[in-house]
Structure 1
Amino acid sequence: MKKSKSIILVISIVVVLIAGLSVATYFILKPLFGEKDESNISPITKQLTEEEASKVIAEVNGEQILYKDFYFIYSQQAAYYGLTTEDEDSLSDDTKEILNTIKKELLTQLIQQKLAKQKAKEAGYEVTKERLDEASEAIEEMIRNMAEQMKLSSPSEAESRDFLKEARDFINSELKAMRITMDEYIRDTAEYMIVTDFMEDLTKDIVVTDEEIKKYYDEQLKIQQENPEEAAYAEVQLIQPASSRVKHILIALPEEEQQEYQNLKSEGKDEEAEAYLKEKLEAIKPKAEEVLNKAKNGEDFEALIKEYGEDPGMESEQYKDGYTVTKNSGFIKSFEDASLALGVGEISDLVEGPYGYHIIKVYEKTEAKPYTQEEKKSEIESLLKSQKKTNFMNEKMKEWESASTIVRHDDLL
């Protein structure tokens, strides 16, 4: 089971508008909301006053950058770290210093974004009606995806809640708080698209040679073989980790009990949370033991999943063959440990977790082994090309900045 509020394996989602793309993505601040790992999405951004929103915090060749442009990304960056924008006064001096550094970096990115837009316009890249329509549809798709993730987080409420409306209301409330209209948001998204096209055209002739790919593969494979614990976090993973393909029967705690456990953990009440979980697991243990006995006595595991399992992921097309579990792959530790310890065909005892009890069966196992260079050629080429593009754009941005008139007001952030 993944470490997610949702029972099924979904991507961990946060409301991260971060537009941004640092140098590695060519200084463009991408104005798209991400998704939030909550079944009840609530506002995270304080309402800006008109005066706050219209403060000029920088000028690039005479074009203004307003505080609301900065706040648009800063509030979402704060949310990524679990803060609201009203928390700053209660933070330690060290944390405030870190946030000040982040603020200055975000302003730098906004300045670079403005420069990139100016250069794209000079090169003839314009926002057309077609681009605006494309941007509008991209935002609609993002809202639909957010609604779907909310639905996955609260499957029992699928009939009683209008998740699409909730997602749309959330986006609108966040934009309103930042004094950004939907039309402005659509235009920002369209501008991101054309600047992306501009940057891609600037770097389209950059290539990676076979010799560079081989050099990277040989050097990185040696490093990953010498440091297997870190191999899973490499930019290109060259060692296929040992894995188990498993299916499981989840005897689930009620959703409100799962949520209460998570609430206690988020409040730092770990001991109280574990005691609460133990008590609630005890209440469903008789049912879990009954199902476990059936599985151990040879009853059809697939049929038991259908009859007793409460993980919607086991019914999804994506995971019809089960979950592939590797070390440090994001599953809860008890689930991961049991999955990797079992042999093919073996069934676990009851495995405790924050969602309930798991009864796990291993269907297939693979041992750790290196990927061949050919298997990873495309990934390596993509990484090296991205690095070359980044270096190219770093130099290009330095040229643009040195030839521009830039005024910034960090004290207003």
Structure 2
Amino acid sequence: MSHAEITDRIVANVNGEIILLSDIRKQTLLLKNLKETGDAKIPDSALTEEAILRKMIDEKIMAHYAKENNVTIKESEIDKAIERIKVENGFTGDVLTKLLEQDGMSMEQYREKLRDQMLIRRISGIEVGPVTISDEEVKNFYRKNKRIFTEQGKVRASHIVLLLPEDASAEKVSEVERKINSIMKEIRGGADFAEMARKYSQDGSSVNGGDLGWFSKGKMLPDFERVAFSMEKGEVSSPIRTRFGYHIIKVVDREEPKATLFKDVAEGIRRKISADASVLKRREWLERLRAQAYVEILY
């Protein structure tokens, strides 16, 4: 047995067309390179040889169905596709040929690969086609998913913080508590909050009078956030402790949650429902093709 026979073998027969182990490994390497360079977002689950084999089988099934139904791709269409690829990537013909050779592929093999990809897109468009979504479907989706179309409430707050490690000694805790309560007393006595923050606060916001800017839920520490969102505009909290230390919070302004108007999201909803319906329709079509195809897996 030769070395080539040991390192390469048939792993699948799809309607009489074979898939080699080397085909899978070339595709795996290509996808991993695309992921590493950031040119494509590919989940790790799609990079296993088993997942790539399933995808290659599906592609051969669809391309075979297209050919059976006399769907064709002209050589001029492939020429145009290659020209687009060269222009978009700044390649000359020689550069593209060398890159293909590095991947173990000839230009003729690449053209056949493009032909199959174009056949799949064309037959998918014919079989799946556009999905028409009614106005009532769009309205129902909006009504059932109002939470998605509601802008989160926001708070603009300032704070004064005295830093205190979580493992501080009881003596240190008492010292900081006395100091924060003294500051609180001055504020209740009419001291300006911003001036007190500039004077006493121990984080970077002190130079801005403790101003933390606007924030929505999920942006701050849970305990800090819970208090801030429970307060009214202009209200000042009692001292609270978080893992950073003791805070006094002042809510400078707030915006309540508000629903986005239906007219502003209707077209986006229509596109989403249509896309979801197309995915489902394509999946059902592909399942029918799989059932009709001859597939022998030898992996």
Interval containing the TM-score (normalised by the shorter chain): 0.5 to 0.7
Q: 1:129 matched to which residue of 2?
A: 75
Tell whether 2:144 aligns with 1:190: no
Q: Is the contact made by 1:134 and 1:190 (CA closer than 8 Å) also made in structure 2?
A: no
Distance in 2 (CA, whole Å) between partners of 1:392 and 1:209 is 17
Q: 2:105 matched to which residue of 1?
A: 180
> Structure 1 100/205 Cα, relative in aligned 2: closer, same or farther at 3 Å?
closer
Structure label with greater radius of gyration? 2
What's the offset of the Cα at 1:173? Answer: 4.6
Distance in 1 (CA, whole Å) between partners of 2:7 and 2:141 is 47
Q: CA RMSD in A?
A: 3.9
Letter in 2 for 1:404: A
Distance in 1 (CA, whole Å) between partners of 2:123 and 2:30 is 26
Could you give the per-residue CA deviations for residues 122-176 of structure 1, whole angstroms, max 9, x where no partner exists? 11111212222222222213322xxxxxxxxxxxxxxxxxxx56x974x545422
215-224 vs 104-113, which moves further: 215-224
Q: 2:9 matched to which residue of 1?
A: 55
Letter in 1 for 2:11: I
Q: 2:298 matched to which residue of 1?
A: 409
Structure 1 unaligned runs (5+)?
1-48, 84-97, 145-163, 230-240, 242-326, 328-366
Q: 2:29 matched to which residue of 1?
A: 75
Q: Is the contact made by 1:52 and 1:68 (CA closer than 8 Å) also made in structure 2?
A: no
Distance in 1 (CA, whole Å) between partners of 2:104 and 2:258 is 53
What's the offset of the Cα at 1:210? Answer: 1.2
Distance in 2 (CA, whole Å) between partners of 1:101 and 1:371 is 39
User: 245, 248, 270: which is aligned to 1:381?
Assistant: 270
> Structure 1 222/139 Cα, relative in aligned 2: closer, same or farther at 3 Å?
same
Tell whether 2:11 aligns with 1:65: no
Q: 1:103 matched to which residue of 2?
A: 49
What's the offset of the Cα at 1:110? Answer: 0.6
Q: Is the contact made by 1:56 and 1:67 (CA closer than 8 Å) also made in structure 2?
A: yes
User: 209, 212, 221: which is aligned to 2:134?
Assistant: 209
What's the offset of the Cα at 1:68? Answer: 4.0
Distance in 2 (CA, whole Å) between partners of 1:53 and 1:180 is 18
Could you give the per-residue CA deviations for residues 353-406 of structure 1, whole angstroms, max 9, x where no partner exists? xxxxxxxxxxxxxx9965433333333222211211221222222221122221
Q: 2:84 matched to which residue of 1?
A: 138
Distance in 2 (CA, whole Å) between partners of 1:193 and 1:397 is 16
- Give secondary structure in 2 for the equivalent of 1:208: coil
Structure 2 unaligned runs (5+)?
38-43, 155-214, 216-255
117-126 vs 398-407, which moves further: 398-407
What's the offset of the Cα at 1:219? Answer: 3.0
Q: 2:228 matched to which residue of 1?
A: none
What's the offset of the Cα at 1:67? Answer: 3.2
Distance in 2 (CA, whole Å) between partners of 1:373 and 1:135 is 40
In the alignment of these two chains, the number of paired residues is 195
Distance in 2 (CA, whole Å) between partners of 1:222 and 1:177 is 51
Identity %: 18
Q: 2:224 matched to which residue of 1?
A: none
Letter in 2 for 1:396: W
TM-score, structure 1 normalization = 0.40
TM-score, structure 2 normalization = 0.54
Could you give the per-residue CA deviations for residues 247-302 of structure 1, whole angstroms, max 9, x where no partner exists? xxxxxxxxxxxxxxxxxxxxxxxxxxxxxxxxxxxxxxxxxxxxxxxxxxxxxxxx
Q: 1:390 matched to which residue of 2?
A: 279
Letter in 2 for 1:196: R
- Give secondary structure in 2 for the equivalent of 1:114: helix
Q: 1:257 matched to which residue of 2?
A: none
What's the offset of the Cα at 1:207? Answer: 1.4
Q: Is the contact made by 2:13 and 2:296 (CA closer than 8 Å) also made in structure 1?
A: yes
Q: Is the contact made by 1:52 and 1:67 (CA closer than 8 Å) also made in structure 2?
A: no
Q: Is the contact made by 2:8 and 2:20 (CA closer than 8 Å) also made in structure 1?
A: yes
What's the offset of the Cα at 1:187? Answer: 2.8
Distance in 1 (CA, whole Å) between partners of 2:6 and 2:70 is 34
Q: Is the contact made by 1:61 and 1:406 (CA closer than 8 Å) also made in structure 2?
A: yes
What's the offset of the Cα at 1:183? Answer: 2.6
What's the offset of the Cα at 1:201? Answer: 1.3
What's the offset of the Cα at 1:221? Answer: 3.3
Could you give the per-residue CA deviations for residues 96-140 of structure 1, whole angstroms, max 9, x where no partner exists? xx6697321111111000000011111111121222222222221
- Give secondary structure in 1 for the equivalent of 2:11: strand
> Structure 1 207/173 Cα, relative in aligned 2: closer, same or farther at 3 Å?
same
- Give secondary structure in 2 for the equivalent of 1:221: coil
Q: Is the contact made by 1:57 and 1:409 (CA closer than 8 Å) also made in structure 2?
A: yes
> Structure 1 73/370 Cα, relative in aligned 2: closer, same or farther at 3 Å?
farther
What's the offset of the Cα at 1:220? Answer: 3.1
* Correspondence 1:271-286 to 2 at 5 A: none
Letter in 2 for 1:142: E
